[in-house]
Every structure is written in C-alpha cells, then in structure tokens.
Amino acid sequence: MTTSSDLEPGTLPPGTADLRAQVREFLAETPFTARADSWLTGADPAFSRLLGERGWIGMTLPREYGGHGRSPLERFVVIEELLAAGAPVGAHWIADRQTGPSILAHGTEEQKRRFLPAIARGECFFAIGMSEPDSGSDLASVRTRAERDGDGWRLRGTKVWTSGAHIAHAILVLARSAPASRNRHEGLGQFIVPLPDERVAIRPIRGLSGEHHFNEVVLDGVFVPDAMVLGRVGDGWRQVTAELAYERSGPERLLSTFMLVRLLHGRAGDRAARRAIGGLTARLWSLRQASLAVAGALARGETPELPAALVKDLGTRFEREVIEVAREHAGVEPDPGSPDPLARALAGAVVQAPGFTLRGGTNEILRGIVARGLGVR
C-alpha cells in the first residue's frame, strides 16, 4: 500500500492543456443546465451521448472494446472540467468511473463486447447494487442471496440508496452465494442484472428537495445466467474492493460544490468575505494537487488506498465548508427557483450536502483506513 509520505506530486502530461481547451470549448458551445453535485444529480442521457461522440466516456478503455486507449490523467482533465462547469454527467457517471473498468478487469469476452462499447458511446448506464438496509459500512454483511438454479443464479434481497437505478440499463449486484463462514469476505459474488426486469422492483427514494436520484431495489428471484456473473463467484469481496478504489479516488470528491466557489469569486463582498473565499481557494488548490497525485499513482498501477481515503475525507469536508462560506458571505438565500445562479446552485448544494461525507464510504470508515495504513490501529 502507498502511504501518504511516499505519494509523488502529480503532474499532467504534455498535451492535456489542449484537451482541457477542447472540453472548455465544447462546454461553451453546448447548452446544458449546470448544477452543483452534477455527477449525482445531473442526469441527461442526450448530454452523455454527446460526450460519448467526443470520446470523453470510457476514455481509458481499450480501443478494441470501443474505448479510447487514453491515460487516467487525460480522463482526470476531462472530468475536472465537466465537474467544474456543473455539467450533467450523472447518467453515465457510474458506468464510466467504475463498472466499465470492473468489467474490463473481471468480465468475460462476451461481457466486454456487450457492455463496454455501449458504455463508451454514453448509451449504457449502470447502477451500483452494494448497500442494503442493514449493510452499508459493513458491506460484507449483505444479505441478498444468490442461489444456484440450473445454469445460473436466482437473486433475492433488497438494495438501498441505489443511485440512478431508475435510468440504468443494468445493475451490478453484490450478493452472498454461500453462507457466511468465519471469513465473511468469502462466499460473495457480483452479478450483472440488465434492467428493466419484471422481477426487479425499483422504487424511488426522494431526497430533501423531493427530487428522485436514488432508489430501493427489490430483487425478487431474478434469474442471472452464468454468462452474466462478473468474475468468479466467491471472489466478490476482492472485486468489490477494487471497484471501491475507483469509486473513492476521483476529483468528484472535492469538486461537487466547485460551482459555488466560482460564482462566489464574482461577489467578493467585504473583507471578511474575501478572506473566507481566498481561504477556500487556497485549500482547493492544495486538495487538487493531492487528488492529482492520487490519480498519478493510479495511472502508474499503484493502489494508493491511504492517500485516496485521506483526500476523500478532506475533500468532502471541504465541499461542505464551501456551502457554509456561501451561506455566510454570499448575501443570497438558497432558492431553486431564483434567477440568480448562485442562489440556485446553493439550493442544490444544501440539500445534497448531508450525503457528501457518506456516499462511497463514510468519513469515519475512511479514517479507519488511514489509521490502519499508518499502523496506529
């Protein structure tokens, strides 16, 4: 494992400045509704397809599977620009960030040919079926069962907080395929369930604003043929842990409220406001350098578990502090219907903020990872 002290500073390779300029140009000439936390709340399938046409989804997937053979650092630049603009990337986000790479790593040839080109075109969206009503932080305690049935498996159980399941073309379900032994990490598997399916009920869970972004997903004996098992049944824990590394390490863990920082810059206000906004900007810069260093380590094939956990903990707390500074100094009330973009962005951010430090693993769990990595636990 890479420890925080040996993480090398991240640098972007030559050529990424051009790529960044292309993304900015695209964003300037393409109409879209900008919003805070757009990677979770901004689902626009037509926008996803436009990005797919530009080659900005599935960037790191190999060309033979419809991807673009580009480096993780080039992807970093593209998603940094999309997030900074509050672009509606939510529909394809999960497939691009983690399911595509997981299928590439563990999938069969047939699965790669079926899903990866469609993911890269921005036409195939995935949902993450990990959490359950009583299994979040303690993911190995999942109770969804996979029971052998002929040449496949029947899944029974309930998943919860399933972001985007209502627009997804498939969900990757973590389920227990053998009774829990003393080692609870054994006996788990990952199963691809194409959606919709009459044996999968997807019920909305509405957020504070009444918007529908996540769901309860009830699997009522849905059949998964062996051809749709991802990787090896029994190896689900190792696979899911690798998937979480993609889920936890990206710049979205500090940029969910970046829009507010930008809009605040236009209204620097009094001395106290300028000091607060300046402070945020300085911290954003150092967090961004740390995030880039994590991306660089991943690009070199390392597993920077400790630094990624650290950056996610610091980054998600920063995202919340941006909201506090905006509330204190912007001189506007959060209002989703306001003509003022700052009031609108603030309203969107305020209702999403409680989830920042929970999703993808809570900050307490991340600090446990850091403590273990430093040998103090």
Ligand X SMILES: Cc1cc2nc3c(=O)[nH]c(=O)nc-3n(C[C@H](O)[C@H](O)[C@H](O)COP(=O)(O)OP(=O)(O)OC[C@H]3O[C@@H](n4cnc5c(N)ncnc54)[C@H](O)[C@@H]3O)c2cc1C
Which positions lie near ligand X, rule CB under 6 A? 40, 127-128, 130-131, 136-137, 161-163, 214, 355, 358-359, 361-362, 364-365, 368
Smallest gap, in angstroms, from Cβ of residue 253 to ligand X? 12
Encoding tokens for residue 148? 């052998």
- Give the other-Cβ count within 10 Å of 12's Cβ: 18
Report the interhelical angle of 305-329 vs 271-299 (nearest 10°). 160
247 is catalytic: yes
* Paired sense of beta strands 229-230 and 188-194, if any: antiparallel
Which CB atom, from 2 or from 41, has the smaller least distance to ligand X? Answer: 41
- What is the phi/psi pair of residue 157, to 5°? 160, 180
348, burial (CB in 10 Å: exposed 0-12, middle 13-18, buried 19+): buried
Which CB atom, from 67 or from 136, has the smaller least distance to ligand X? Answer: 136
- Give the other-Cβ count within 10 Å of 291's Cβ: 26
Query: d(Cα 236, Cα 232) in Å, to the nearest integer?
Result: 7
DSSP secondary structure letters along 87-129: ---HHHHHIIIIIHHHHHHH--HHHHHHHHHHHHTT---EEEE
Which CB atom, from 70 or from 106, has the smaller least distance to ligand X? Answer: 106
* Chain position whose Cβ is nearest to ligand X: 136
Smallest gap, in angstroms, from Cβ of residue 215 to ligand X? 9
Which CB atom, from 60 or from 144, has the smaller least distance to ligand X? Answer: 144
Encoding tokens for residue 158? 């309930």
Smallest gap, in angstroms, from Cβ of residue 124 to ligand X? 16
Which CB atom, from 22 or from 362, has the smaller least distance to ligand X? Answer: 362
DSSP secondary structure letters along 153-219: EEEEEEE-S-TTTTT-SEEEEEEESS---SSTTSSEEEEEEESS-TTEEEEEEE-TTS-EEEEEEEE
DSSP-derived 3-state class of residue 153: strand
Give the active site residue among 80, 81, 243, 247.
247
Query: d(Cα 258, Cα 281) in Å, to the nearest integer?
Result: 10
Query: d(Cα 301, Cα 333) in Å, to the nearest integer?
Result: 45
Which CB atom, from 329 or from 352, has the smaller least distance to ligand X? Answer: 352
Residues marked active site are found at 247
